[in-house]
Structure 1
Amino acid sequence: MANGVFHTGYQIIVKLTEEDLGNPGRPDLLEEITQPINKRDRHLLQCLEHHQNGVCQAEEDDRSPWMAIRRRTVDGRTTLVAAHLPVRHTPTQEESDKHKAMKERIARAAERHGLSAEPEARTHDGRVRTDVLVTGPAGRIGWEAQYSPITATTVRRRSQAAADHGITPLWVTDSDRAALIDRAPWALVDDVSWRRIISRNALLVRAGVRHLQRWKCSRYSERRCPVTDSDFSACGRLHVQWDLPALCIPQKRHTEIDELVTASADGEYVPMRIPGQSDPHSYSRMWVPAEDRDEWLDIVGPEDEPSPAPSADSELTFTGEPLDTKCRYGEETMVFTDRRPKRTKADATGLHTFDEIPKRLFKIPQQREQRLTVTPQQRQAAAALYGCPVWRIGPCAGCAAPIHRYGPGSAHACRTCRSRIST
């Protein structure tokens, strides 16, 4: 990308690689050009190639010729970079109709279940406006029906403002490419007409809601080992992850949007934020059953806070490179306006693997020594009782009685020991 921009106010070229920005007579220029877009003229900074030729590469990809200046830190060195702003989008009539229909559906679902629903709600100071504010025993849920494009920065800013006022944001969209995904609590529904949205037909949540899955990895497991990525090579360890309903074993039913309206306000579903395994500064966000959240915390424990991201006030490095006026949009492999790695469904599972099952999960007191002290005839009788091969008979984890302990359909404890913890 070009390492300079054109300042339309002063009619000057700003050189981002030079300490004085190529304009020694303007000491306040850096502070001026790094102001947030909502605090300055959107058309203040222009792509140099567009300024010279009237068109640039970015405009072919639905970006505007207007620029924003950001700090980028790579390998500990912070430099100034220029970003093409997106083309401003005016919602179409269809998008507006869908937005209105979703707001009405959310409010209707809440009121039908005895919850308070306030469309176009504003906080007392007027700083936060919510499409539909649903209030229930678990607190206030701020629903945002988003059917038109929105920037990640806007999502973060509005979500943080809501959280600062004690409101849990919940964004709903019909696009799996929406910038709001994983930037705030969210839910994805099917792309259907406004008439379908407003109807009483079921509207399923396709993504944004997950369920906890845990299993001991063995050659009898129904799942492929996520470590070896093989159906035939099991690692023998405990795996814990979050899955979409269709990927659960056994499969879970999809949550309906009306159900999420009430369950989030009642506290039956809660928001989770899972740090990325490859990048501790990225997160997967999801709504999960409260009991799954509690089990996750029992297994994994509280997540460590990630190390702080590079400060926005890091000392700048000016490379002094010659001015490049060519628009380089699309040539860079790093998109500096989006610090997160490219979203993939696999990243959202939050996979954790343990060498052995944490002892705190054992609810049945274990015998000091789990050994079968039975005769071969008694072992044969147990195999006949449970309808399994004799080599799959093993000791109950609680009382050491012979049970179907190994292989498909097995259990770790006998029915008597399991019944003691379920009552």
Structure 2
Amino acid sequence: MANVVWHTKFQILLDLTKDDLDHPELPDLWETIYRTDRYYGQRGVPVYERDLQCGGVCRDAGVEAWMHLRLRANGRREAVHERREDEARHTAPMSDEHKAYQERILRAAEEGGFHGDSEVRTRVGRGWIQTDTLVEGADGRRIGWEVQLSSVGSEGLRGVRARTAKAEKNGITPAWHTDRADYAQRHDTHWTRSNSLPAYVIAKTGDLRVISGFRKLDFWRCDVHAVHPCPHGVRRCGKAHATPMPKDVLFDDLVRQTAAGTIVPIQFRTATKLHRFWVTSTDQERYNDLLSDATQLPPAREDNNAPAGASRNRPTCRPELIASRLASPTPLAGQSVATLPPAPTQPTAPALEARPEPTDRPTAPPELDRPQQSSPEGRSRLPDTLIMLQQAADNEHRKLQQLNGEEERTQQRLVWFEAAHSAQSAVTQYARTKRLNRYEVEKELRRIVRGTGEPSDM
């Protein structure tokens, strides 16, 4: 959709955000154009013969993108592209954090023996839905992961309930993940939340912790020995109740267990609100028993999930601690400060099972995981293609800084976005192929092209 439309017959631009379409000298312009377009649609006239084209991004790019008009029930005016590829031209490039989450979901699913894919389009009736990352789980389960991060903005949350309903209708279990507290407090779908992290931290294999959206149900009898207050507002009713308690879970385990069916979505209704969160399948079964008969506690079922042990990976849930260690103090006059490598952070929760450190741990990483070394002359072994793509992106950015006109800057910004997207995609593909850390590859590439920073271990 677009807000600016070019009328090929009238040779004017129409701004749909304004009541008079930015043409006060032409009264009733919207009614005339909209009724004409509706008449063409009822007569089966093709869209490319209705005299309306995209007057924004597509026109600036020199593309003839035909459109038709639509009027929402709330009175909102919209112009819809005829082809989806023209609509995609208006979409901003995906952020590095969003890409890192997609890669992590696919990696976690593959480690659990499940298959997944990104940007999957699925037909629903006469329309389509597009899922960020779709994981094919056990027994025909399909988990559709949608990532909404801090950089998206409030406009990125339009139609969450509608998209969720379409996914469920097509047999996809929606799983929405975010790093914003206000998103996670919504109850229009099953949200999970982690801390706001940079892309290179998300892409690591450390323990990414989910701090909201997963619960453990505490089943209890409402008598004089109960700890929780009665949800019905009376002193003690004598019935059995369930109370959701906060519980952390690792993001990789959540991806794998939702695909396996050991963690499932649940709708928990209170007196005033319907809550949506994730619980274990055992808690879901006990809760269903409680709903069928609240006069007695549901029988305890054996949980097949083995207790979690101490992880050897660094936790990634508190990056601010790492950043504080990396910040070097201001040296005194005539005094030098030696930089030390950051110490690994400790897990936020105590381990349930201590594991002894292996005595034969290798002191150096394997050859496959070790990044490529620089040559004695200091020149990196990165492919010339990566260097050329990064140079092209930097050149387009310099051109943008030299422009003053708003229209010229808008057009040049799109060119810069396309060049930067190509460079970032090439870096991701190269790091994945060579099994290297993507952040280190990007850091070394920028050092070569821009001549900033110290040489890395690439």
TM range (shorter): 0.3 to 0.5
* TM-score, L = length of structure 1: 0.46
Of structures 1 and 2, the one with the larger relative CO (CA 8 A, separation 6+) is 1
